[in-house]
Amino acid sequence: MRAKNTLFSIIDWFIPETTRAERSELYLARNFVFTHLFGPVLSQSISLFLFLSDPHPGFACWTIIACIWLFIALPFVYRYTANLQLSALLSVELLAFTSLFGAYYYGGVSSPFLPWLIVSLLLGFFYLSERQLLVVSLFGLNIAGFSAAYIMWGFPELVPQKQLAVVGWISILSATIYMSWMAIYYANMITMNSDLEREIELHRETATRLRETKNIADEANRAKSIFLAKMSHELRTPLNAVIGFSEILLEDIEFEGKNEAKRIDLERINSAGKHLLSLVTDVLDLSRIESNAIDLNITQFSLNDMIHDVIANIQPMVVAKNNKLIVRCPNDLGLVSTDQTKLRQAALNLMSNAAKFTEGGSITLSAQLRRSQAGDWIEIQVRDTGIGIAPEQLGCLFQNFGQATLSTSSKYGGTGLGLALSQKLCALMGGGISVTSEVGHGSCFTIRVLARMTEQTSTYDDLIDMPALPAYAAAI
């Protein structure tokens, strides 16, 4: 195994990084480098016997020996040009020239070098399959040059034919080994391509089934959203009646004696009705967002006034659990243009969560305008000293009906819709919500939305190009 890895590391040194990414191209490049590094070593037996057979080794003998060694230079050509086709073309031409040059000086048409001419043609089609005309033209030019030399000067007999018998057998054996190697490689490539085709077909079938399943799921999701929207509308009517009549009864009842128990029951009915109405409203908003049926109401308003409104609404919840509310907000935030109702709803959701999961601690509300090349941004940050969230649980916070743990849901209540809805509302306003948290030390949620929206930038196609905060970030 170590020897194999060493061999591959030597071969891969010649192969450009871009080629290694594609498996079929990598195998072809490795085959080219391997055959051109070790092929000339195998062919040196031909050079040796040719040198011993020629009584007067001269120009022809040394030219053939040099040409055989030149094949080792081609992997270096490939390394520094990163062009396999150019390197293969040089290889085919060098092999054709060497075989015809050797045939001219040693044996003519009966030369032991001629089998390599067929090898050169086959290698040309193998490496340059997309340029077959070039291969045929190159082969024809070499044959034409060989024929012209024969017509003008004939075949010089440097070595008698009988003495070339040993060289002939070695040449044929070497050519057979080389072609066997190429045949095995070609068979492996065909098998690999067949496996790839079967794998591609399986992936294609899987993709088709997944696409069909996705379409079915999308249809079911749309049907669910429509159902929830209709049911929410139907539920809100009787709930408003329950809340309204309970408030009327509370106003008319006498808060004395036996009516005290009735008053408590009416307050419970009123509180439960309002809680159920808020849940129905959240479900309705989510279903409208998912079905692209919700619109933004872009207005210009004072960001300071909105922050004061959020503080006034959340103050009772903060006091109920002995928490301290800290507000860090400049008095001159000025006017912004976005959907005030949805921004206030997202901020209230974050503040109510902070108040719910913090007891005897502090809740800090910060607001500011940030300027950047992409425009002005509203940044509202809610930091608490509550129970905190584990890093592995952050990912499910912004999912529909998602809460950190089951124990959180059972202990603190809630449906897990608040953060999911807030994230979607902020996304509609061209931004998002990020969170950092540490178990036992509290959490920090940050709203970041565009401060200057218009009717044009409130369309979906425009908002998808807006930079936004990630859903969550790892705690530090």
Determine the 3-state secondary structure of 42 from DSSP: helix
Q: In the chain, what percentage of residues exceed pLDDT 70?
A: 84
> What is the C-alpha separation between 424 and 434, in angstroms, rounded?
12
| pLDDT for 258 | 62
Cα–Cα distance measured from residue 260 to residue 380, given in angstroms and rounded to the nearest whole number: 43
Q: What is the mean pLDDT of residues 447-463?
A: 67
- Beta bridge partner(s), residue 435: 445
User: What percent of the chain is helix, strand and coil (3-state, nearest 5)?
Assistant: 65, 10, 25
Q: Cα–Cα distance between 229 and 293 in angstroms, integer?
A: 10
pLDDT in tens, 340-369: 888 988 998 899 889 888 999 999 999 999
Residue 468: count of CB within 10 angstroms of its CB:
18
Kindly tell me if the per-residue pLDDT of 407 is higher than 60.
no
Question: Does the pLDDT at position 383 exceed 90?
Answer: yes
Per-residue pLDDT, 465:
39
Residue pLDDT, tens place only, 206-253: 888 899 888 888 887 777 767 766 776 677 778 778 788 788 877 777
Residue 21: the pLDDT is: 61
The one-letter code for the residue type at 256 is: E
Tell me the C-alpha distance between 148 and 119, whole Å.
Answer: 22
Q: Is 474 a residue whose pLDDT tops 80?
A: no
- Dump pLDDT digits (tens) for 109-137: 788 888 888 888 888 888 888 888 888 89
Domains present along the chain, CATH in parentheses: 2-159 (no CATH), 299-463 (3.30.565.10)
**Residue 293: its pLDDT value, please?**
60
Residues 423-453 as b or e (16 or more Cβ within 10 Å = b): bbbbbbbbbbbbbbbeeeebbbbbbbbbbbb
Token code pair at residue 257? 């004696």
pLDDT over 90 for what percent of the chain? Answer: 14
Give the 3-state secondary structure of residue 444: strand
Query: At 413, is the pLDDT very low, low, confident or very high (cuts 50, 70, 90)?
Result: very low
Beta bridge partners of 436: 444
Beta strands (DSSP E) in 168-312 are 299-302
Q: Which of 196-200, 227-231, 337-341, 403-407 is the least confident region?
A: 403-407
H or E element at residue 190: helix 165-252
- pLDDT higher at 438 or 407: 438
| Coil, strand or helix at 438 | strand
* Of 400, 375, 390, 359, nearest in space to 457 by CA: 375
With a CB cutoff of 8 Å and minimum separation 6, the contacts of 304 are 329, 331, 332, 333
